[in-house]
Amino acid sequence: MGKQNRRKPIFLENIEIIDTANKGKSVAKHEGRAIFVHGGVPGDVCDIKVFKRRKKFWEARIEKIHKYSNRRTKPKCEHFGTCGGCKWQNMQYSSQLEFKQNEVINNLKRIGGIELPINEKILASKNQYFYRNKMEFSFSNKRWLTLEEINSEEEILEKNALGFNVPGMFDKIINLNNCYLQKNPSNSIRLSVKEFADKNGISYFDIRNHEGLLRNLMIRTTSSKDLMVLVQFYENDKKNIQLLMEHLKTTFPEITSLLYIINQKANNTIYDQEIICYNGKDHIFEEIEGLYFKIGAKSFFQTNSEQAKILYKKTKELADINSEDIVYDLYTGTGTIAQYIATEAKKVVGIDSVEEGIKAAYENAERNNITNCTFYNGDMKVIFTDKFISENGNPDIIITDPPRDGMHKKVVEQILKIEPKRVVYVSCNSATQARDISLMDKKYKVTHIQPVDMFPQTHHVENIIVLELK
């Protein structure tokens, strides 16, 4: 009986949303308990339905809004509320920036537990929509059905979808009509692929049964007008692969890099897959202040090109490099930061785990006539050793831009051991950044905090922190 009561939804009336929370949720309080609310904006007063109860918190959905927050705005996208890609579209951009800044500072205080300087105002993104240079869409033969479709007595004949996963449902895809994240021809390509596939009876992937041809579609654009399209297939159906790729080639002649993969693994990651170039080149180029960077299908590059320029400019400024400094660029990707700062330094050493990225970094350096950069491929916690440092020189400055999980403890320990005078830590996850910085508190003090908004309409925020040796 107790378990049944626990599972029964709880309805609460006239609850005020007071703040934002992680993963794009909002937060309210009831009788001292935190409630994470989906779709709320601070200032809303609403009735909510609690669907998940834990010891420390509850989770709820809005049933009715009695008073709308003055921070609210009308979402642009027709898929808002179902698609989980832009969860803050219902919040004014000025408020998005405010809460992102608050999140950075709160994480540094709560998780880092260290003394903080006055933080700089968050740098806003010039473009609030159509700012992404890379999008990945999934195919599914079992699309997400609306409540009206489910309740309808009519048979659902069209079940194929090309779009994004419904949050929390790995096997359900929302069929996208229009997406405001990437500029055209992104929408045109996606819609054309779906129309052509449906017309020609090309099968969509079934993620549960692992069958079907069409699996994933990736589109990358650059400010220099290059365009990469990569189609990921599951089955080796040469006839239909040829049919679709030829359609893309002839319909969109502006595609400069047309690629495909046959991936029969359980997951759709491409780093261990052979990439086949169907037409054009196997890469595209991005330009940043006169420097050109080769980007392959597997290469990491900041997904907001215009804002990346601001991020790198600020990183260089805060690094405060002089002509005698040896600089290490950890998690260098395709060597963008390393080459951007190279003219300021005596020597730059870049390290990354993706082999294709390092190859591109060397090619980029040669193309950009940069001769003082050296790049190494390998697992950071394995390659970043005493021997490595003795061979490449003790760094005066370290710039580190790790993945969302942050730096491995061994990497942090090595930084503490070699004691560079300055560490510039760029992060897309201020929680793991705060964790790593807390481990460095005995030897380093935080002197600058600079949030940068790379992802408008989402809760994600980039943050730069400068640590100086005490």
Catalytic residue numbers?
428
- Nearest-5° angle of CA 268, CA 273, CA 276? 110
- Give whole-number Cα distances, 460 to 86, 285, 432, in Å: 10, 26, 13
Chain centroid to CA 85: how far? 10
Tokens 């001769």 found at: 371
Rounded distance between C-alpha atoms, residue 178 and residue 85, angstroms: 13
Give the C-alpha separation, 337 to 339, whole Å. 5
List beta partners, residue 258. 229, 279
- Is 137 in contact with 164 (CB distance < 8 Å)? yes
427 forms bridges with which residues in the sheet? 463
How far apart, in whole angstroms, are the C-alpha atoms of residue 376 and residue 13?
Answer: 58
CB 100, CB 459: distance < 8 Å: yes
User: Could you tell me if 257 and 284 are in contact, meaning their C-beta atoms sit under 8 angstroms apart?
Assistant: yes
Residue 218's closest CA among 122, 325, 299, 142? 299
